[in-house]
Amino acid sequence: MTLDWSIEAGQGSRARPYTSIDFINNAYDDIVSDGLLDGLSAGGVQLMIGNQSIDANTYHHDIAVVLMRHVDNTRNQTGFTREQMLPAALVFNGATDAVYAGVAPIDIDEDGAVITNFTPAENSTVSGDAMFSVDLYCTTGVQQAEFFIDNVHYSYSFIPISLPPDITATKQFYVPLFQSAGTSGLHTLRVEATCVGGTVTSQTNNNVTFDNL
């Protein structure tokens, strides 16, 4: 987990990346100064890991997010799956103890879904039957994708009904784009991704030409 932080702090190429000992030492200096995990040591000095500052959210939100990233990483040797790690991450993320200086929890899916490979692509031409397709990733997992044509709902793409809400890593969602979807000419396509945590993120592809639809 601290290796992930090391990379984010710009120290990924160090001979010795930051370790849990570095993090624990910072946390010790933090709490003994004023009884709070607020990122400030004695005298109000800002605590850092490399060039990354520490605050109350580091101890609950950031830990939760890194836990979920770690289970998706090839470095994960814990044997835990996302399904097993998510409850622990949600406990960390939702912590409201006084030791966190009264800082309210941040939504674990604060940044929303990561949307990639949304097709048909912007400024492209679609002829005949095609496919709405998108790759999605959320910290908590992806609940559903919803597709729109010219701001009119076209279709949902759900996880197969026999499975629980998807908490695998990046997943492809797709639905057929039938000839009856729209008239020939320019159209605007949009996808809305809903994370298991409820956060909704969208991406719009403009100027998609339907030819002979």
| Residue 91 is assigned to a structural domain of this protein | yes
Choose one of 67, 100, 133: the last residue of a domain. Answer: 100
Same domain, 61 and 137: no
Q: Is the domain of 94 the same as that of 119?
A: no
* Cα 173 to Cα 157: distance, rounded to the nearest angstrom: 6
pLDDT tens digits, residue range 63-86?
888 888 778 777 778 888 877 888
Is residue 189 a contact partner of residue 208, using CB atoms and an 8 Å limit?
A: yes
Cβ-contact 128, 170 below 8 angstroms = no
| 201 vs 194: CA distance, rounded Å | 7
* Whole-number pLDDT of residue 212: 67
Crossing angle of helices 63-71 and 82-93, rounded to 10°: 170
* Range of the structural domain that residue 182 is part of: 114-211
Please, how many CA atoms are within 13 Å of residue 139, restricted to the half-sphere of its CB?
Answer: 23
pLDDT tens sequence across 107-147: 888 888 999 999 999 999 988 778 888 999 888 888 889 99
The segment with the largest mean pLDDT, out of 16-20, 36-40, 102-106, is 36-40
Q: What is the CATH number of the domain that holds 187?
A: 2.60.40.650
Can you tell me the distance from the alpha carbon of 24 to that of 96, in angstroms, rounded to the nearest whole number? Answer: 20
Q: What percent of the chain has pLDDT over 90?
A: 25
Can you give the pLDDT at residue 116?
92
